[in-house]
Amino acid sequence: MDDSKGLALAFEEAKISYDEGGVPIGAALIAADGKVLGRGRNMRVQSSNPILHGETSCLQNAGRLPSSAYKGSTMYTTLSPCDMCTGACILYGIARVVIGENKTFLGGEAYLRQRGVEVVVLDSAECRGLMERFIAEKPEVWNEDIGVEERVYSREGVEAPSV
Catalytic residue of the set 13, 55, 101, 109: 55
DSSP 66-102: -GGGGTT-EEEEEE---HHHHHHHHHTT--EEEEEE-
Please count the CA atoms within 13 angstroms of the CA of 156 that sit on its side-chain side.
Answer: 11
User: What are the C-alpha distances in Å from 78 to residues 105, 129, 142?
Assistant: 11, 11, 15
Residue 37 DSSP code: E
55 catalytically annotated: yes
62 neighbors 73 (Cβ within 8 angstroms)? no
Known catalytic residues are 55
